[in-house]
Amino acid sequence: MTSKEPSRKQPPPSVMGELRKTSGAVADAFMQMRNIIAAGPIDSKCRELILVATCVASRNEGGLRTHCWRAADEGATREEIEQAILLNLGASQTLSPVVEALAWARETLDAYFD
């Protein structure tokens, strides 16, 4: 299965809005840190795929949905995103959390690519 042209629907909600409600300064500092890290040598598509994998490892549903969407925005195919999730199998997660993450990703990517 190959990816098709992305939809222009809205991405999943970010938790940054909630953080900003509590402390705008902390939210700004967090984003500044993320931007500094993002300026490194890893291209944006690979960076998003790595973030997808780390969200699986930490069982972070919101982050996984956000970074699946962003990975697709950066040109990652559904298959590449699924592989990033599957890499966790046996390395950092057992079967159930990986299958759960695949379901979250499928739902998110179905909305993205519909």
User: What are the boundaries of each domain within the chain?
Assistant: 43-113
Q: Is 52 exposed, middle or buried (0-12, 13-18, 19+ CB in 10 A)?
A: buried
pLDDT band at residue 8 under the 50/70/90 scheme: low
Task: List, in sequence order, every residue forming a beta bridge with 93; answer none if it has no partner.
Answer: 89
Residue 2: pLDDT over 70: no
Rounded to whole angstroms, the maximal C-alpha distance in the chain is 43
Q: What is the pLDDT of residue 28?
A: 96
In the chain, % of residues over pLDDT 90: 82
pLDDT attached to residue 12? 81
- Is the pLDDT confidence value at 6 over 70? no
CA 14 – CA 38 distance, rounded (Å)? 18
Are the beta carbons of 81 and 105 closer than 8 angstroms?
yes
**pTM (2 decimals)?**
0.83
CATH 1.20.1290.10 fits 43-113, yes or no: yes
pLDDT at 3: 47
CA dist 20 to 17, 28, 29, 42, Å?
5, 8, 11, 28
Mean pLDDT over each residue of the chain, to the nearest integer: 91
Angle 33-27-107 (CA atoms, 0-180°, nearest 5)?
A: 90
pLDDT value at position 16? Answer: 85
